[in-house]
Amino acid sequence: MSKIYITTSIPYVNAAPHVGFALELVQADAYARHFRLLGHDIRFQCGTDDNSLKNVRSAEAAGVQVKDFVDANAYRFEHLGGLLDISNEEFVRTSHDPRHIACVHALWRACAGKGDLYRKAYEGLYCVGCEQFYEPSELDDGRCPEHGIALETIREENWFFRLSRYGDRLIELIETGELRIVPAHRRNEILALLRRGLTDISVSRSAERARGWGVPIPDGDEVVYVWFDALANYLTGLGHGSDETLLQRYWNDGQRIHVVGKGISKFHAIYWPAILLSAGLPPPSSILVHGYVTVDGRKIGKSAGNGIDPERIIQTYGTPDALRYYLLRHIRSGDDGDFSAERLEAAWSGELAGQLGNLANRVLALLSTSFGGIVPPVPDSAFVDEAARLPGKVAEAFDAYELHVGLADIFAFIGEANRRFTKGAPWADAKALLADLTPEDRRATAARLSACLAEQVYGLAVVARCLLPFLPSSAATLHSRLGIPAPRLYQDPLILAGVKAAPQAVLFPQRAAA
């Protein structure tokens, strides 16, 4: 059993959450659930970045006190996790968690003790949207390459972190795989940045520019730069700087996995491990980098005016699994993917309802009328062998950070199960048993019907088990319809013969699109 710590990034709360962040939540949750089913000791943390300058400016634009503004939006992010069946143990808000200031200060003092913090007067081009300085050569026609907005010229004397000291060590960590960045093209992007050389970064800002909002630096009148503050939250939930029991268990002794969007991969793959090395702490083990959710090819953004409300989608379908399925199956794990209500409805009605739901309904209805719902002994067959191989395929997809492939494998098997069920036409055997048959024909017909239904129930049970990380609510319901408990571990025995299944209601009812 391994100890594994999984985190999402922490979003700015300058506006309500959109479906793009839902992608990150469900990816991280799928991993947390998968690892638990493998028997690992899991700690899963989410949270919000409350202290960014863009939060302050958004509150000012709304004419609302910063604390009230941040509290209202942070609640919506935390609430979204509940709506999406996210199984995190911890939710850290950087302006609210009483442990966070102690954590940031402990990290700051450790870096200072290493000689990696120093004072410097600085003038640079700053993007509030990214919360970072840019070199002129990095701009797109003089504008932020991420947000397309004009940058602000900032002149301050700040504390700087000696990021340049850690470039060679970071290259070594990534090339040896000690720091794993997936997918490979994101790893290559980070290595290219490192090989161009690193410059030191500002890690404080004036309290005046921050409007007094944020974590104060130790023994000073400035506030901590938002990325140093925000990244520290991964340690806050483990008690760094206070009670470090969880820190020892999950960070020092465990695997450390961050799930982040490509727009902030540099901060997590360069800034964060360098800060940790300076502070004498292990760097992350893995950084899983997803792409953007787009609408008509444009990135969804809280400030772009094209956000899609995930809460509304969940309310429309009456379950989080419609959205979870779309995001995990129809958006490649490490790449950008487009979202549309029409494709979501097609996935729900054509795949979840039309393939899995329809198969379960047909099999269980015939099992009920033919055998009173009692599952016959599962036969040896090529189909049963194929079902038994499915969990291994799904595990390989998790290992490769290709969750979409895992779901594609599951639904390819469901497609084969539908074809086999239709070709076998067991309803004809069920009807024949009502006719006047010879004893020999009756035995052969009953055996054929029994084998067909038993192997189909076995296939559905394997599918239900494989779907637990992806669609926890629907997978639990399918287990219930099959008359079996959802397993605590993948390896728990799958016992079906003699179990009583029930057809009950439709698994994925047809409904209007969002």
3-state secondary structure 170-214: HHHHHHHCCCEEECHHHHHHHHHHHHCCCCCEECEEECCCCCCCC
Going by C-beta distance under 8 Å and a sequence separation of 6 or more, which residues neighbour residue 435?
none
| pLDDT at 344 (0 to 100) | 95
| pLDDT at 182 (0 to 100) | 98
Can you state the angle between helices 439-467 and 403-424, rounded to 10 degrees?
170
Q: What are phi and psi of 65, to 5 degrees?
A: -60, 140
Can you state the percent helix, strand and coil of the chain, rounding each to 5? Answer: 50, 15, 35
**3-state SS, residue 9:** coil
DSSP code, position 373: T
| 383 in Cβ contact with 308 (< 8 Å) | no
Can you state the angle between helices 403-424 and 382-399, rounded to 10 degrees?
170
Bridge pairing between strands 117-127 and 132-134: antiparallel
Q: What are phi and psi of 47, to 5 degrees?
A: 170, -170
Q: In terms of Cα–Cα distance, which of 74, 76, 82, 79 is closest to 12?
A: 74
d(CA 181, CA 269): 8
Domain map of the chain by residue range?
A: 3-313, 341-482
Question: 180 has which bridge partners?
Answer: 286
d(CA 416, CA 412): 6
First to last CA, the chain: 42
Write out the two tokens for 281.
């702490």
**3-state SS, residue 456:** helix
Question: 126 has which bridge partners?
Answer: 133, 152
| 71 in Cβ contact with 94 (< 8 Å) | no
DSSP code, position 264: G
**CATH homologous superfamily of 3-313:** HUPs (3.40.50.620)
Burial 142-160 (b: 16+ CB within 10 A, else e): eebebbeeebeebebebbb
| 370 in Cβ contact with 430 (< 8 Å) | yes
CATH class of segment(s) 341-482: mainly alpha
How many C-beta neighbours within 10 Å does residue 386 have?
16
183 upstream amide cis, omega within 30 of 0: yes
- pLDDT per residue as tens, the chain (514 positions): 799 999 999 998 988 898 999 999 999 999 999 999 999 999 999 999 999 888 888 898 899 999 999 999 999 999 999 999 999 999 999 999 999 999 999 999 999 999 999 998 877 777 666 666 777 777 777 777 766 777 777 777 889 999 999 999 999 999 999 999 999 999 999 999 999 999 999 999 888 877 888 899 998 889 998 889 999 999 999 999 999 999 999 999 999 999 999 999 999 999 999 999 999 999 999 999 999 999 877 777 655 566 789 999 999 999 999 999 999 999 999 999 999 999 999 999 999 999 999 999 999 999 999 999 999 999 999 999 999 999 999 999 999 999 999 999 999 999 999 999 999 999 999 999 888 889 999 999 999 999 999 999 999 999 999 999 999 999 999 999 999 999 999 999 999 999 999 877 678 887 644 3
| pLDDT at 512 (0 to 100) | 47
d(CA 425, CA 447): 14
Q: Give the H or E element holding residue 395.
A: helix 382-399
| pLDDT at 514 (0 to 100) | 39
Q: What are phi and psi of 250, to 5 degrees?
A: -100, -30
| pLDDT at 123 (0 to 100) | 73
| 445 in Cβ contact with 432 (< 8 Å) | yes
Write out the two tokens for 268.
């997590």
